[in-house]
Amino acid sequence: MKHILTFILTITCSTILLAQSNEKLRITHLTDNFYIFTTWKDYKGTLFPSNGMYVVTNKGVVMIDCPWDSTQYQPLLDSITAKHNKRVVMCMATHFHEDRTGAFDYYRQKGIKTFASKETDIMCERRKEKRAEFTFNKNSSFMVGEYKFHTGFSGEGHTPDNIVVWFPKQKILYGGCLVKSTEAADLGNLEDANVTTWKQTMKNLKKKYKKSTFVIPGHQAWSNGILALEHTLKLLEENKKQTP
């Protein structure tokens, strides 16, 4: 009997570990009706996490950025419906890269309104990335249900078009890939970055959103709040020293 129990426990533990190692979608409550969703994709030989956010309003769910893993486009929608009994009505991208815009065509077919700044739409057209149905000025205000939020452009950084999304009442700053997680060891993908202006952009961001309670970076851990802004500045300083 003892051997059978040991065998069962071994199988159970192995199953739990396998499930954890194969995790493709994680949804974590942030505060109020705000949730962070994380998906993973291979980046330089390593499964790397990518964050997005959604807020549940009385008019439906607003999604900021898309899942990076295309196999999770529908599972995320299904999870939101099952969890909140509401459908996603709006999806907004914070810059033109695939990890932000990749699901646009799919979500548009599902009747979800997709949004991007005019600058992001231009970049998507040039780079042949998925394009949004609707565009807006990079510094704009939105009201969906009971939630008001603003988009803001503080300067070039990770990309020329990177914007942030600010929920003033909840003091939530969704920084996207402009902001690096305190877990990040470097600035990541610099293919479209402007490292010359990024530092000033972060200073502008830090000054404008100094009252932030939550700061959500585009990748990796997000629980250290406003410290992510300072860490991004530190990484930019280190990158400057390493650049010949």
**pTM value?**
0.90
> Is the per-residue pLDDT at 21 higher than 60?
no
Identify the CATH number of the domain in which residue 78 sits: 3.60.15.10
Mean of pLDDT over the chain:
91
- Inter-residue contact 225 to 31 (CB < 8 Å): no
Counting every residue, how long is the chain? 244
Q: Which residues contact 121 (CB under 8 A, 6 or more apart)?
A: 131, 132, 135
- Angle in degrees, CA 40, 45, 49, rounded to 5: 20
In a domain, 12, yes or no: no
Q: Which two tokens stand for residue 47?
A: 């499964």
Token readout for 159 is 């990309």
Is residue 1 in a domain?
A: no
Domain-located, residue 104: yes
First to last CA, the chain: 67
The pLDDT tens digits for 97-109 are 999 999 999 999 9
Confidence (pLDDT) at 53: 98
The alpha carbon of 172 is separated from its chain's Cα centroid by a whole number of angstroms, namely 13
d(CA 136, CA 129): 18
b (16+ CB within 10 A) / e for 166-188: bbeebbbbbbbbbbbbbebeebb
Per the structure, the count of domains in the chain is 1
For residue 244, name the pLDDT band (cuts at 50, 70, 90). Answer: low
Q: What is the pLDDT of residue 22?
A: 52
**Is residue 19 situated within a structural domain?**
no
228 close to 218: Cβ distance less than 8 angstroms: no
For the four alpha carbons of 226, 227, 233 and 235, in that order, the dihedral sign comes to negative
Domain-embedded: residue 230: yes
190 assigned to some structural domain: yes
Can you give the residue range of the structural domain that contains 106? Answer: 25-242
